[in-house]
Amino acid sequence: MIWAKTQIGAGATAARLWTFAPWFFPYIPRRKMSLPADYHMHSPLCRHATGEPEDYARQAVAARLTEIGFSDHAPMRQDNFDQWRMNAAQLDEYVEKVQKARAAFPRLVIRLGLEVDFMPGQEAWIAELAGRHPWDYFIGSVHYVSDDWAVDDPQKLSEWNSRDPFDVWRIYFTRLTMAAESKLFDIIGHADLPKKFGHRPAQDCRPLYAKFLDAAAASGCAIELNTAGLRKDCKEIYPNRTLLEMAFERNVAITFGSDAHAPDEVGKNFDEAVALARSAGYRVCRRMARRQSRLVEF
Ligand SMILES: [Zn+2]
Ligand SMILES: [Zn+2]
């Protein structure tokens, strides 16, 4: 298998052909599909997750996953920017923790990633982080729609009282589009995060999705199916079906993530995420190594 920056197109076509194959070649046994890799999990260094990477790895083996990846919240250039990420000086410790899990579970593929906040003006810092360790991938996430408000912060839930949801969506997707265009990320995280607490605009958001997904398709970054939304008030996987179907139309690749902040969340609700992805048309997802991607069936 050659590792390369791949587009989904060829794989999707192959998957479509495979769907019809049994009609023409009924003797071909269908290959047993494995669960997708879980590429979104945290560590205690971010100050709001529990369990060591080894505990997450142990759970992954129990859940019959063959590949996982850690993506803890990356530090900001300025430590104590907020209370839910590691300091820059802890980056080495984070990498050591992941390497320790690799040594303890040699048969499980464990990737090294980061969930990096995208904010306009942070590009140079993100590029600097990219050079510090042999990362397998960066998930680019927008949490902040202004310098001091992260839309998913439960401590700032009251901020929503004075906000027009569509206005929040507009700013959020403008930033998400910039993140996709930046080429700093391999995967865009939880692409409709503002729905977390159940707020939803009445307006048609498809033009916002289209602009973001056109940027993702042009730059070649994937989006993730993030099952954490099922555990929040919105009770829905990130992103919603409409956005996912629009992504498939544009050949935007996908990855899967539980966004686990505790070991028992590893691989959680992956059956639902797989069903959603397949119903949107997807048959392949990306796997990452050293910031190169390849497509595998799921
Ligand atoms: Zn996030
Ligand atoms: Zn996360």
Of the listed ligands, the closest to the CA of 40 is 2
Helix 270-279 vs helix 241-249: crossing angle, to nearest 10? 50
Predicted structure pTM score: 0.90
- Length of the chain (residues): 298
| 275 contact partners, CB below 8 Å, separation of at least 6 | none
- Both tokens assigned to 293: 């991607």
Distance from Cα 29 to the centre of ligand 1, integer Å: 40
Distance from Cα 176 to the centre of ligand 2, integer Å: 15
The answer on pLDDT for 110 being more than 90 is yes
Average pLDDT over residues 279-285: 98
Distance from Cα 145 to the centre of ligand 1, integer Å: 13
- Residue 5 is predicted with a pLDDT of 47
- Residue 34 is predicted with a pLDDT of 79
Distance from Cα 162 to the centre of ligand 1, integer Å: 23
With 0-12 / 13-18 / 19 or more C-beta atoms within 10 angstroms meaning exposed / middle / buried, residue 130 is middle
- Residue 2 is predicted with a pLDDT of 47
Of the listed ligands, the closest to the CA of 265 is 2
Average pLDDT over residues 18-42: 66
H or E segment to which residue 110 belongs? strand 109-117
Distance from Cα 10 to the centre of ligand 1, integer Å: 30
Of the listed ligands, the closest to the CA of 150 is 1
Average pLDDT over residues 6-31: 50
Rounded Cα gap, residues 210 and 57, in angstroms: 36
The answer on pLDDT for 18 being more than 70 is no
Distance from Cα 40 to the centre of ligand 2, integer Å: 6
Q: What percent of the chain has pLDDT over 90?
A: 88
The answer on pLDDT for 190 being more than 70 is yes
CATH topology of domain 8-22+115-297: TIM Barrel (3.20.20)
